[in-house]
Structure 1
């Protein structure tokens, strides 16, 4: 009997049944004596394998066991590693990627056996299943981050996703309204002041905010500025919400979500004509959400999107311009008004760390206010000129 060896020292022997040279190395933890055994055709190759195992043990404190299947790791990874650091929506998407694509295609494979070829097979399975190129990118990202964490925890040596090119999604440009189309829609919206949602569309066109930012805007955050501290989100898996994230339920599965850090808060100066539009819209209203259904309940994000398409159709404009496209339109309007690129990025919210800090301190609020006034003046001037040119035409300005 060979003498007892310490953890990580290893043993080299030739197996009598098939003549292969094997190395056995004792692993830390576990119940009883846990070992990793690797066999090679020659003694030299076996010794090289032993040294690699010893290096891995010294580097990570453990050695990846080839018996752990990918599905077993994913079952542990999603609730214990990924969910605590992500938004519930991200966790929901990752769960869908795993259950529908990753586990069926690769789940039975051991972590240590995964290769770039297997990852490409996953890409093909998604495409063959009717998935778009964007979905391929998303599924790849879920697998990649799960395997990255497996490497960090010593469950595997190398992430095969790092050994290959990332898949590419669709490069189709986001459609946006032109300046002329924006003016047409703005005029149409202004002919509907008695409708409960007219101010909402004016606000989207004049601020470039994200869908949830305006739907989650509350009366006490409207003053000289719009304080976009919360966003309205539809969350069906709130149980997955990380403990350090703040949510407020506003009915059903609708929640107001607050940014994790102060840097995530965005401030937009409030100037005319939006200042007057919101004042008229909020007259007689109490605290709570600024934009609501007629009964005072929150507007569901999907419902806002549906109504956006409907109002585009009524105004005689292309219905394939997404509500998110108003952000691109605002960028174009700011550029047309001569607003510098740095301020455009700050207003729209595509900011670097330094710009985000400037938001938080509000040190550049006068510059942002001047920029918003330039854009608003552009819209007002163009609308006035267009209304004048249409006088006597027999057609009311703003009608499709």
Structure 2
């Protein structure tokens, strides 16, 4: 079969479904602009696409890339590197890729980046709903910033362009919280379901929803404090809406321990001692942790069945903070630390490092006093 050539490099059949690409590039390794070879698995068309990407990256007379080529050549590799280094969560990358596949690529992907003008961007934004246009525009700006960096265009046309869609009035977020008594009632309603343990971690331990799902059984510890048993739970990872686990939390300070008081601590410790599938404290039954979606579904269904008013799962953390301050009387600086907030002073940020036993002591004492004050 004759060798198939393009105007830059070559793409030949290497057998077994592989293609051999040859091209010229300066890899900045001291060898200068020399010939390179790369073997990929794929069709001839996929080989041509990869050769086109390599030309955008390496050719001395490289053409102006399309938006799609800029995304594949520069933006996506950098995003994957940020995920690997922990500077971006995998769920954030998924959201970006969703915007790319649904909105940017179909409308702008085949345009040379030099043809992406402010009016083109504005017209494109007109067809996107207000809830999505901001994040799609942010991603387009990032792609075009890289095109400026690699000297494909002189300036980023997306800078200064604002979404022009008419925004509907945002629905006010539900800010309802539970009192301590209401929290006990809600937890009683979901006891026996898969939502029980993560609800305890959120409503009585300050966890965000994803944090409550990322705990492993062998990480939970039992601590005796003020005549009670406290479950101390380290928070170092989170599970997303689909149940995928990330070792990156919302902020570096979010890595902490939470202290669960009696009697709920006994249930958490029992769950940790059980032979849970995959070793997760909140298992999904098939080797992974419960997903946020499933947690939310079970939570709402169980409360509805028990005729108990439900609040959004995210508000369990707000409830914990409110109960801690106004009903348990825990000092605000301690509550902030237990929530994983870094604080504002130099001492709070860099020097204040309380041990898990301190949290257990504060929480158990506060609940003992609260119960003792009840008539």
Q: 1:165 to 1:218 in 2, by over 3 A?
A: same
Question: 1:9 maps to what in 2?
Answer: none
Question: 1:228 maps to what in 2?
Answer: 235
Secondary structure in 1 matching 2:151:
coil
Question: 2:177 maps to what in 1?
Answer: 178
Aligned pairs for 1:1-400 (under 5 A) are: 67-86=64-83, 87-127=89-129, 133-165=130-162, 172-180=171-179, 183-190=181-188, 194-195=192-193, 197-223=195-221, 224=223, 225-233=232-240, 255-259=244-248, 265-283=255-273, 285=275, 288-293=279-284, 298-319=289-310, 321-336=311-326, 337-351=328-342, 362-363=353-354, 368-369=359-360, 372-373=363-364, 376=367
Q: Deviations over 1:359-390 (max 9, x none)?
A: 997337566456544764687579x66xxxxx
Secondary structure in 2 matching 1:259:
coil
- 5+ long unaligned stretches in structure 1: 1-28, 32-61, 128-132, 236-253, 386-400
Quick check: 2:205–2:259 contact (8 Å CA) kept in 1?
A: no
Question: 1:37 maps to what in 2?
Answer: none
TM-score by length of 1: 0.60
Secondary structure in 1 matching 2:234:
strand
- 5+ long unaligned stretches in structure 2: 1-31, 35-58, 84-88, 224-231
Q: Deviations over 1:257-276 (max 9, x none)?
A: 32399756222234334323
Residue 185 of structure 1 deviates from its aligned partner by 4.5
Secondary structure in 1 matching 2:158:
helix
Q: Deviations over 1:268-323 (max 9, x none)?
A: 2343343233234445557922223578764233211110111231343455x322
Quick check: 1:212–1:231 contact (8 Å CA) kept in 2?
A: yes
Q: 1:314 to 1:198 in 2, by over 3 A?
A: same
Quick check: 1:186–1:205 contact (8 Å CA) kept in 2?
A: no
Q: Deviations over 1:120-145 (max 9, x none)?
A: 32321112xxxxx3322221221122
Q: 1:166 to 1:192 in 2, by over 3 A?
A: closer
TM-score by length of 2: 0.64
Question: What is the rounded CA distance, in whole Å, between the counterparts of 2:190 and 2:90 in structure 1?
Answer: 37
Larger radius of gyration: 1
Say what the alpha-carbon RMSD is for the aligned residues: 4.2
Secondary structure in 2 matching 1:226:
strand
Count of residues in correspondence between the two structures? 301
